[in-house]
Amino acid sequence: MMRTIRRFGVAVVMIWMVTTLTFFLIRLMPGNPIATAYQTLLQQGMTAQQAAVQIHILYDVYPNQPVLTQYFVYLWNLVHGNLGTSIVYTGRPVLGLILAAAPWTLLLVSMGLLISFVIGLLLGVIVAIHRDTWIDNLTSQVASVFHGVPNYITGFIFLYFFTVMWPWFPFGNIYNPSIAVGLTFPFVASVAYHAVLPVAAYVFGAFGGWTLSTKSAAMAVLGDDFMMADKIRGLTSAQRLDHLVNNSILPLFTGFVLSLGFMFGGSVFIESMFSIPGLGYLVQSATTQRDYPVMQATFMLLSAAVILANFAADTLYSRIDPRIRN
């Protein structure tokens, strides 16, 4: 219990560090957007007073305040759930933008992660059982090449072939705008239809890694004494397979949780490529339009999600695997 609390404390401190880092990154970099905007306004003939008011309206900070004061104001707002307002979508609170975008990203990323994990698990176990045969050589080689292929490559190939070459799937957006939003069959079907290609892009970018790590985990389990004991006890091959799979999943668990964060990062590509109004798209459009409040908040939330996932993985792992419980 003490361990869990300590770990949670570390996670909170790390989130605070990321917040601080991004705050100062944006404020203190040479040519930071706020200083640049302030200078531009001055050059346009505004008085320092007017420019400061204008900057306050745009960025929610007073440019003449010391940076530390700005920082504490920012933290204070943050703790109260105020993430500022967007510059591009004038006046819309950042939190609202993020909450509207998050479900799509969660849906696509978790689907992609689950499907690639299941495929990788199956392939990995098969390969481990048929070690050093042509099945192993072929699958392992393919998996190593696909492992680490960024999803913008797989996504782009799918996009080109299945929406341009052969227009089997719709291009852009995540549902047909002419269908009313709601938990109705046409809407869900439309979402599923639009989700096929993005999810496939995630899956093809990720299954190779899962195959390789399942393979090494399963090979380690196959060498364990209890697998030999299973054989001697005369368990059927189905029962032995069950033991093999269950024990191979364990070491993959931490990686599974951690890769959530990685895939959230990758959503930047998939979502801007397929024009899906999720978090990745929000990050990307905010970046190209220099919408700093949105960038800062989404970046911070993504990092916080990864750090918390990390914490959850650590805590849950010791509960799942009785061997490392102390």
Residue choice 262, 312, 317, 318 for contact with another protein (CB under 8 A): 262
User: Judged by CB, which is closer to another protein: 25, or 57?
Assistant: 25
Q: Is 299 in the site for another protein (CB under 8 A)?
A: yes
User: Judged by CB, which is closer to another protein: 107, or 308?
Assistant: 308
Q: Is 298 in the site for another protein (CB under 8 A)?
A: yes
Residue choice 165, 180, 183, 238 for contact with another protein (CB under 8 A): 165
Structure tokens at 217: 């985990």
User: Nearest distance from residue 239's CB to another protein, in Å?
Assistant: 34
Q: Which residues of 91-113 are buried (b: 16+ CB within 10 A; e: fewer)?
A: eebbeebbeebbebbbbbbebbb
User: Judged by CB, which is closer to another protein: 214, or 310?
Assistant: 310
CA distance 87 to 72: 21
Q: Is 277 in the site for another protein (CB under 8 A)?
A: no
Binding mask 63-102 for another protein (x = CB under 8 A): ----------------------------------------
Residue choice 156, 253, 256, 317 for contact with another protein (CB under 8 A): 156
Find out whether 300 and 282 touch, Cβ atoms under 8 Å. no
Question: What number of chain residues touch another protein (CB under 8 A)?
Answer: 50
Structure tokens at 61: 């900070």
Cα–Cα–Cα angle for 267, 252, 269, nearest 5°?
10
Applying the rule CB under 8 A, the residues between 119 and 148 that interact with another protein are 141, 144-145, 148
Find out whether 190 and 175 touch, Cβ atoms under 8 Å. yes
User: Nearest distance from residue 250's CB to another protein, in Å?
Assistant: 19
Closest CA to 213 of 252, 244, 258, 262: 252
Residue choice 63, 112, 120, 266 for contact with another protein (CB under 8 A): 266
Ordered alpha helix ranges (H), the chain: 2-28, 33-43, 48-59, 67-79, 94-129, 134-146, 151-159, 185-222, 225-232, 237-249, 252-273, 279-288, 292-320
Region binding another protein by CB under 8 A among candidate stretches 49-57, 221-229, 242-250, 290-298: 290-298
Find out whether 175 and 194 touch, Cβ atoms under 8 Å. yes
CA distance 174 to 193: 8
CA distance 104 to 46: 43
User: Nearest distance from residue 180's CB to another protein, in Å?
Assistant: 29
Structure tokens at 23: 């705050």
CA distance 240 to 309: 32
Residue choice 17, 99, 138, 181 for contact with another protein (CB under 8 A): 17
User: Nearest distance from residue 26's CB to another protein, in Å?
Assistant: 6
Q: Is 216 in the site for another protein (CB under 8 A)?
A: no
User: Judged by CB, which is closer to another protein: 207, or 264?
Assistant: 264
Distances (CA, A) of 81 to 78, 85, 215: 5, 12, 44
Footprint on this chain of another protein (rule: CB under 8 A)? 10, 14, 17-18, 22, 25-26, 29, 31-33, 141, 144-145, 148-150, 152-153, 156-157, 159-160, 163-165, 171, 261-262, 264-266, 268-269, 272-273, 283-284, 287-288, 290, 295-296, 298-299, 302-303, 306-307, 310
